């Protein structure tokens, strides 16, 4: 978002205005901006500060504290490897390392094509299915190192598959049964 354009500024101001009567609007504003643009760079934080009167330091603190906010653009597929205690003792670090090797990026990085971002997460809250991995919110249970190449390949295959044509995507209409003649 380097050099915010007029349309982006207008949209961000609109988001801020939407919550102007809220007692504590920051999380809602930041969440909407994150959902709209995928990240919240310093330039956007400064605009939010100007609009709300909340200091840039406070906004930056919130953006960097919560893992669902990002200072940089994320890939189309965000892979989160849980490194919480239960996952860690069941091999989560090896799973994270396997994703890192397979994608050629470190945790916190995004592939050059913008397809994948790899994140190390504190806890997914899925301890019973450890080690757990989240990809765009879908949780994969009991992931092992050996599973990583096929997980990545299935995403790539899904990306390469042509979209169904409208006729193929729409369900066929059932034929109406002819009306019975009255006797």
Per-residue model confidence as pLDDT tens digits over 26-85: 999 999 999 898 899 999 999 999 999 999 999 999 998 887 788 988 999 999 999 999
Phi, psi at residue 78, to the nearest 5°? -100, 115
Sequence-ordered list of residues with C-beta below 8 angstroms from that of 25, at least 6 positions apart, any chain: 16, 19, 52
Amino acid 161: pLDDT: 82
d(CA 65, CA 78): 18
Q: Are 107 and 96 in contact (CB under 8 A)?
A: yes
Per-residue model confidence as pLDDT tens digits over 91-113: 999 999 999 999 999 999 999 99
* Domain spans, the chain: 6-65, 77-158
**Which of 3.90.1150.10, 3.30.50.10, 3.40.30.10, 2.102.10.10 would CATH assign to domain 77-158?**
3.40.30.10
Q: Are 79 and 134 in contact (CB under 8 A)?
A: yes
Is the model's pLDDT at 173 over the cut of 80?
no
DSSP state of 39: -
Q: Which of 142, 145, 135, 143 is nearest to 94 (CA)?
A: 145
d(CA 134, CA 26): 26
- pLDDT-derived band at 2 (thresholds 50, 70, 90) equals low
Please state the rounded mean pLDDT for residues 5-9. 92
pTM given for the model: 0.70
């Amino acid at each position: 978002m380097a050099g915010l354009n007029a349309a982006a500024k207008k949209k961000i101001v609109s988001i801020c205005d939407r919550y102007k009567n809220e007692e504590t609007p920051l999380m809602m504003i930041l969440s909407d901006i994150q959902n709209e643009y995928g990240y919240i760079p310093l330039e956007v934080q400064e605009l939010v500060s100007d609009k709300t009167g909340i200091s840039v330091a406070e906004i930056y603190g919130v953006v960097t504290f919560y893992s669902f906010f990002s200072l940089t653009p994320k890939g189309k597929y965000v892979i989160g490897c849980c490194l919480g205690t239960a996952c860690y003792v069941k091999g989560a670090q090896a799973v994270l390392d396997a994703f890192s090797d397979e994608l050629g990026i470190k945790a916190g990085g995004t592939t050059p094509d913008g397809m994948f971002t790899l994140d190390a997460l504190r806890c997914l809250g899925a301890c019973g299915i450890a080690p757990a991995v989240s990809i765009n919110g879908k949780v994969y249970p009991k992931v092992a190192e050996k599973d990583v190449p096929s997980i990545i390949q299935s995403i790539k295959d899904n990306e390469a598959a042509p979209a169904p044509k409208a006729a193929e995507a729409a369900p066929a209409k059932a034929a109406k049964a002819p009306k019975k003649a009255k006797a």
